[in-house]
Amino acid sequence: MGFLSLNMGFLLCFLVFVSGFLNVHCGNGNSSVVEGEVLINGSSVIAETDGSFICATMDWWPPEKCDYGTCSWDHASLLNLDLNNTILHNAVKAFSPLKIRLGGTLQDKVVYEMRGVPCTPSSFVKNASEMFGFTQGCLPIKRWDELNYFFKKSGARVYFGLNALNGRVPLPDGSLGGPWNSTNAVGLIRYTVNRGYTAIRGWELGNELSGRGIGASINADQYAADVISLHTIVQDIYKGFKSKPLVAAPGGFFDASWFGELVAKTEPNFLDVITHHIYNLGPGVDDHLVEKILDPSYLDGEANTFRSLQSLLHSSNTSTKAWVGEAGGAYNSGHNLVTNAFVFSFWYLDQLGMASNFNTKTYCRQSLIGGNYGLLNTTTYEPNPDYYSALLWHRLMGTRVLSTNFTAKSKIRAYAHCAKRTKGITLLLINLDGNTTVNARVTMDSAIINSSKHQNMFPHTNFNRMPRKQRATEIIREEYHLTAKDGDLHSQTMLLNGKILGVNQQGKIPRMEPIRVNSSEPIVVAPFSIVFVHMPLIHAPVCG
């Protein structure tokens, strides 16, 4: 028998091996214990995601990009990132595949080097009089070759954000008008096809130009015409290909009226993906970010955006699907030791769960690397806590989403999916309370026990009320408990089942092994902890 610290407040969890299983027992004289029940409906699917739901962004920001006196981007730009870094390669390859969205604020100031289009300057130059504080930059063709070699080698699936401001003219209302000049974009797309760069799976038009826009805006009617133009370009250049890249837009903040007009004028199939951005925590300089992250009512507020967008798509005659194209939580590069620390996994995983519930197909995190919200450390490239949260989600949560509710007065967030690439169900429990341990029991509406000895149907199955012998010999589950090192929410080191997660000397991503727990025991969710629970022997009819 041994013990390990799993949370703040000196909570001790004892790991006890009994008949080959690992039971978890937690106790703390200073914290309360709440009994709760997780209700999972296994008879219907409420939403579906893409198989590669997890996505991360790579941005254009140069080292001179600073926010609130802090310059947090270093050499993490598409133009200067060390693509030969072993950890970076291994981190991307671990997802097999990882979707990567290339884009960001400066993408509408990028030109692409082609014959007759000189690449000067190749990097952005700081200039306070320019939009976003930087001059125009250029993507050298050599760098595009290097990026595509990296994508092929690491197995990434890439979505490139095109400059949508070429050809625009100022309008009296302050917005920009005139048709999109696609000449430079066409050159890049043709070059990409001619070079056989198959990692590029989609082309996205513009960044944050929807609604009122950030820095600039374009009305929805003109944007729809430009999207149709891009769709025509892609169909022409990829003519003869069995599958063609997706056309995505607008990569902006949700505005119901603007988005509604874009969808209506691109029906039924000119726009494959409608992308929106999320920075619902406010500016990175905010001193109350942690309070917002730990407040369930604040987190619930973003559901309105997901709900409104899905309602818009369902009521239209479109085949367009919704993605979160960029989400960093706190804008202006995030906040050091918050958006790159353990505490941010509460926000991030809750966002993934919420987005999935509303039929969002892909969720792109800002960023893979760069700023204070990267999945990887900007200078060492080592994974921050959210990288491991993303990887566990990617490996455990399947595409089919199940209705899930938690019945107890606690700050538990609960999400369940059919398991990925295996039988069973995966449950995610997030405890936002630092003083309450939750003992959660699972009840399912419609479930089958997948075992050689027990094939009975349990229409309303409570796995804690089965015969003791049956539970001990057949029904097990696998648990992944995520906690902060030393109980410090601002720690950039995450523990999995009490062990530090970190790359080895060769830069390899660590194995993430579960503990095996007898299903007769409740799921113990320690204060300020996250638990993925894979129940491989429990099968919901809708999981196939």
Residues 60/77, Cβ–Cβ less than 8 Å: yes
Q: What pLDDT score was predicted for residue 74?
A: 97
Residue 463 burial by Cβ neighbours in a 10 Å radius (0-12, 13-18, 19+):
buried
3-state secondary structure of 238: coil
Residues whose CB falls within 8 Å of the CB of residue 84, separated by 6 or more in sequence, listed in order:
none
Say how far residue 432 (Cα) sits from the centre of its chain.
19
Residues 266/241, Cβ–Cβ less than 8 Å: no
Q: What pLDDT score was predicted for residue 457?
A: 35
Q: Which of 356, 430, 460 is nearest to 399 (CA)?
A: 356
Q: What pLDDT score was predicted for residue 406?
A: 96
Cis peptide before 121 (omega within 30 of 0): yes
Q: Rounded to the nearest 10 degrees, how much is the dihedral formed by the CA atoms of 78, 378, 135, 146?
A: -20
Residues whose CB falls within 8 Å of the CB of residue 52, separated by 6 or more in sequence, listed in order:
95, 97, 98, 99, 157, 362, 394
Residue 175, number of CB atoms within 10 A of its CB = 16
Residues 206/252, Cβ–Cβ less than 8 Å: yes
Active-site residue list: 208, 326
CA angle 123, 125, 127 (to 5 degrees): 160
Residues 439/36, Cβ–Cβ less than 8 Å: yes
How far apart, in whole angstroms, are the C-alpha atoms of residue 282 and residue 288? 10
Q: Which amino acid is at 509?
A: I
Domains of the chain: 50-399 (3.20.20.80)
57: left (phi over 0), alpha (psi -120 to 50) or beta: beta
Q: What pLDDT score was predicted for residue 474?
A: 58
pTM, rounded to two decimals: 0.93
Tens-place pLDDT, residues 188-227: 999 999 999 999 999 999 999 999 999 999 999 999 999 9
CA distances from 114 to 136, 138, 193, 501 (A): 16, 10, 14, 44
Tens-place pLDDT, residues 444-453: 887 666 654 4
Residues 86/382, Cβ–Cβ less than 8 Å: no
- Regions in the chain scoring below 70 on pLDDT: 1-30, 121, 447-474
Q: What pLDDT score was predicted for residue 118?
A: 76
Say how far residue 377 (Cα) sits from the centre of its chain.
17
How far apart, in whole angstroms, are the C-alpha atoms of residue 230 and residue 203? 8
